[in-house]
Structure 1
Amino acid sequence: MTSFTFTKNAENTTTEPVLDALIDGECKAANDAAPLEVNSIPQAEIDAQMQLLASQDGLPVMFSAGGNPAEGAKLAEAGALVDFDAKLTELGVRDKISEGAVSTIEKLYGGGFDFLPFQYNIEGVFYNKALFAENGWEVPTTWTELTDLAAEVQAAGKTPFAASGEQGWPLTRLVSGYLFRSLGADALEKVADGSAKLTDPEYVAAAQAIADLGTAGYFGANVTSLDYDAATNEFLTGNAAMIYMGSWLLGNINGDGNQIGADNVGFFPFPAVEGGAGSIDDYPANVGLPATFAAKTADDPNVEAWLTCIANGYGNAALEQGQITGFVADADVDLPEISQTIADTIGSSTSSVLWFEALFNAEASQISSTNAALLVTGQLSPEEFMTMVQDALDK
């Protein structure tokens, strides 16, 4: 192999700069032997294009995942992808990938470690530390403590939770968070395999818990009309005490638009549900920009050199550019405190869960997101909301 070909989704602007940095460092020798060659195609075309290339035995050495994890799982089942558990172990760099990230990949892609986490996001509650300190509020660890805190925040004249009803998914993330804590990490996998339904009473109870937050006014008066940016602004201007979001929010937190200051932002996991089967240590997570290697070329010495240097260096090179990935980062990088908190949490995490729509079909995902605001404003009952989504899943 004379070049290291990488086909990425055109929307991905973060992976290539890190690879370029590695070319000047950890991957210099690998690039000298087989220069990096990057091609871009639209995200929407990747799944179909890679399936076609796989059928022609013409996959690039490395390529990004498409938008549908089931398509990636098909390639793995067909033997077209590298088994990274075996290959990285063979190369002596298996310990360079976060176990939490591996757990997420296995859940998304049919059980195997067949993709690499060039990005890794965990989710939880970001909160205004200064506001908490001023009012003597403690970080909640249980659902009851969280709802009691929300009442105190509201009484103090602040919105307890900023959330985008227009996007919807920031609200359904709360439903799945409750499900994972009340029923366990496999709650939505059971829905996906048909052994449980969203209309079962214990699932409706999760939707009811989030609807109750809306009934109490804890999302504020404008939740339906708030888009993602407006909801983020509610938190970063100090109008809302908390926001449930993923670690991709760090870009906003560390940016110029943060009026409360990055030093005043803290993070805690979705709280435990009393008597629930789930663990507070399971963080909802995604590997936003995963990529994989073709099995056909994986044993080429030049490919092995590239894979080894990526495993060894990507985490540190990305962190120096302000990115948090599923690769281990052990360099001494001066990060904002909140970014270090997230990095430490990722580094110590050994398992993860997905999110509400992760295993849904396209129709169910759309129905879920577009109707979430109606759930928290009382225009749809929890039973009606879960029935609508389940009906789409049953098709």
Structure 2
Amino acid sequence: MRKMKRVVGLFLMFTLILSITACGSKTEQKADKEADVQSEETTQETNTEDGAGTEPVTIKLFTNLPDRTTGQGFLEQQIIDKYMQENPNVTIEIEALQDEAYKTKFTAYTSSNNLPDVLSVWGQPAFIDPVINSGYLAELNEADYADYNFIPGSLAGFSKNGKIYGLPRNTDIQVVFYNKKLFADNGISVPTTMQELYDVADKFNALGIAPCSIDGKDKWPLAIMYTDFIMKLTGDNTLLPNSIGAKDLSDPNFKKAADAMNELISKDFFQKSFTASDYGASRNLFAQGKAAMFYMGSWEMSMATDEAIPEEVRNNIGAFNLPSPDGAKSKTTDLSAWNGGGYAVAEKSPVKEEAIKFLNYIYKPENWAKGAWQNGICIPAQSYEEYLTGNETEVQQTLTNLLSQATNISGTPINDCGTPTFKTTSEDLSQQFATGMIDSETFVSKLNEALQ
């Protein structure tokens, strides 16, 4: 649990892989920037002096966390409520949509250049580069975050030319969640090799239980799985970004990774009609005990504390790293991991200073990092070692061990490495490949064409 120095080193390496100048030079502080409100007492004092801070302010928050009762949406709502209590002149209006609907509405907002004040963003080139280049996001002051304990490298995807335009919420690891009770009741061991994973699929299929659920309808999990296989096969986290940058996927490992993914799919590893199953349906299949495994990101560790999930499932959730294909050069401790979602402020926000103050409040370590970890919600992008309690769920402990012991991390998944157009095409191709519409060679060839 206490191996954060290794994590720091890995994410610093991640920064270099992305070839982004991340926070290297200090931006000048704006002379007219107001000091952060440090406590409720300070806020109350400010509100009573010469009427300062008493003018009503409305902040519009556009978020991809629609569930306000569990997980990250619950924590986000807690922080919002606390902020409004401490700042009674501030009202925060929330618009919350699931990822895909969110991105569609986000595009509509950018088309009219009328973004809400604070908004969810993804620190990956396919999403954030166009909005930074178009001047839609406000520059943040690096000095504000000197004591926020962001893991080195975690700000890289939200930065450009030494300037910061957003902040990450999480450290994301792609893993296989599994139902320990289903495994134990049927005498099935956790697989450590790809052949063992095939055998596990056969056993659960024979029992009439879906071996593993995945969100195939939304496509991006399939692209992440392909990235996972690239990393697991090669153990080289520079191959993908370098090849994307060179617009050349001719390295034979890209086809080998596709072959390995195809082999797993051919073993009926996923639920029937998995490419028509969306996020909610695939999650529920696992949460209701109808699938033995769930291939998804570490943000779903909150399932272990979600009281909407039956007790016999939520109390028996474990996680393991996807095994490497036969003949792989990677180590069993190489991970598919990255920093993804976060928040930013709109450059043209009419309440930009207050919006930035609220953004900074979200990320005070005692707010997001502490709340995310101690409520078992996700792995924050800020150091959380001081918030360990000894009462962590087993899945929390497992994920922290995976991260602290990692020998290599993949970085940004393939679908988010390039342009928005490449993102759409690569995700479409990933789904076509998963359904068997195209073979491995055609899949890689079309991905390469999409880069040109």
User: TM-score normalized by structure 2?
Assistant: 0.65
Query: Letter of the aligned partner of 1:88 in structure 2?
Result: Y
Q: Show CA shifts across 1:319-351 (max 9, x none).
A: 566643323444477977256337745984886
In structure 2, the CA distance between the partners of 1:20 and 1:191, relative to structure 1 (3 Å rule), is same
Corresponding residue of 2:106: 43
- Secondary structure in 1 aligned to 2:283? helix
Alpha-carbon distance change, 117 to 309 in structure 1, aligned in 2, over 3 angstroms: closer
| % identical equivalent positions | 22
Distance in 2, matches of 1:230 and 1:308, equals: 34
- Map of 2:241 onto structure 1: 189
Counterpart position of 1:70: 129
What letter matches 2:440 in structure 1? P
Aligned-pair CA distance for 1:130: 0.9
Residue 385 (structure 1) aligned to one of 443, 447, 451? 443
Contact 2:128/2:158 (<8 A) preserved: yes
Alpha-carbon distance change, 338 to 75 in structure 1, aligned in 2, over 3 angstroms:
farther
Question: For 1:357, what is the secondary structure of its paired residue?
Answer: helix
Structure 1 residue matching 2:322: 3-state secondary structure: coil
Paired amino acid for 1:228: Y
Query: Residue 128 of structure 1 contacts residue 264 of structure 1 at CA under 8 Å; is this kept in 2?
Result: yes
Residue 372 of structure 1: how far off its partner (Å): 3.1
Question: Who is 2:316 aligned against?
Answer: 264
Q: CA deviation at 1:110?
A: 4.8
Determine the structure 2 residue equivalent to 1:297. none
Distance change in 2, residues 1:334/1:148 (3 Å):
same
In structure 2, the partner of 1:19 is: 79
Letter in structure 1 aligned against 2:145: L
User: AA paired with 2:434?
Assistant: V
Deviation at residue 313 of structure 1 after TM alignment: 1.9
Compute the displacement of 1:179 (Å). Answer: 0.8
Question: Is the counterpart of residue 223 in structure 1 residue 274 in structure 2?
Answer: yes
Aligned residue for 2:240, secondary structure, equals: helix
Structure 1 residues 190 and 260: alpha-carbon distance in aligned structure 2, compared to 1, 3 A threshold: farther
| Structure 1 residue 70, shift from structure 2 partner | 0.6
Q: Counterparts of 1:54-69 in structure 2 under 5 Å?
A: 64-65=120-121, 68-69=127-128
Q: Does 1:327 pair with 2:382?
A: yes
Trace 1:87-166 onto structure 2 (pairs within 5 A).
87-89=144-146, 93-95=147-149, 97-99=150-152, 102-103=153-154, 105-107=155-157, 109-110=159-160, 114-166=165-217
Cα distance in 2 for residues equivalent to 1:17 and 1:236: 24
- Give the aligned partner of residue 62 of structure 2: 9
- Corresponding residue for residue 367 of structure 1: 425
Q: Which secondary structure state, in structure 2, belongs to the residue aligned with residue 353 of structure 1?
A: coil
* CA distance in structure 2 between the partners assigned to 1:275 and 1:336 by the alignment: 33
Stretches of structure 2 that go unaligned for 5 or more consecutive residues are 1-33, 35-52, 67-72, 96-104, 348-352
> CA 1:12/1:262 → structure 2, altered by over 3 Å: closer, same or farther?
closer
Alignment of 1:295-310 (within 5 A): 307=360, 310=363
Q: Is the 8 A contact 1:119 1:323 kept in 2?
A: no
The CA distance in 2 between the partners of 1:328 and 1:6, in whole Å, is 28
Please point out which of 397, 407, 418 is paired with 1:341: 397
RMSD: 4.4
Q: 1:173 to 1:135 in 2, by over 3 A?
A: same
Distance in 2, matches of 1:152 and 1:221, equals 16
Between stretches 374-383 and 336-345, larger displacement belongs to 336-345
**Residue by residue, what CA displacement relative to the aligned partner does 1:279-302 show, whole Å, maximum 9, x if unpaired?**
7343423432333698xxxxx9x9
> Does the 8 A contact of 2:298 with 2:399 survive in 1?
no
Output the CA distance in 2 between the equivalents of 1:12 and 1:191: 33
- SS of corresponding position for 1:311: coil
Of 302-311 and 222-231, the range deviating more from structure 2: 302-311
- When residues 347 and 305 of structure 1 are mapped into structure 2, their CA distance, relative to the original with a 3 A threshold, is farther
Q: Distance in 2 between matches of 1:169 and 1:209?
A: 18
AA aligned to 2:107 is: A
Alpha-carbon distance change, 229 to 82 in structure 1, aligned in 2, over 3 angstroms: closer
Match of 1:287 in 2: 340
Query: What is the distance in 1 between the residues matched to 2:346 and 2:195?
Result: 46
CA shift, 1:308, in A, is 7.6
Contact conserved, 1:98 with 1:347, CA < 8 A, in 2? no
- Structure 1 regions of 5+ residues with no counterpart? 54-58, 295-299
Aligned equivalents of 1:185 and 1:83: distance in 2?
Answer: 30
Asked whether the 8 Å contact 2:173–2:338 carries over to 1, the reply is yes
Shift of 1:175: 0.9
Q: AA paired with 1:262?
A: R
Say whether the 8 Å CA contact 1:236–1:259 is kept in structure 2. no
CA distance in 2, matches of 1:222, 1:305: 43
Code of the residue aligned with 1:70 in structure 2: it is D
1:191 maps to amino acid? S
Q: How many residues align?
A: 369
User: Using a 3 Å threshold, how does the CA distance of structure 1 residues 335 and 182 change in structure 2: closer, same or farther?
Assistant: same
How far did residue 108 of structure 1 move?
5.9
Closer, same or farther in 2 for the Cα pair 1:187/1:83, shift >3 Å? Answer: farther
- TM-score, with structure 1 as normaliser: 0.73
The 8 Å contact of residues 158 and 167 in structure 2, kept in 1 or not, is answered as: no
C-alpha separation in 1, matches of 2:181 and 2:254: 36
Matched, 1:234 2:285: yes
Once residues 357 and 215 of structure 2 are traced to their aligned partners in structure 1, the CA distance between those partners, rounded to angstroms, is 44
User: 2:425 & 2:438 partners in 1: Cα distance?
Assistant: 12
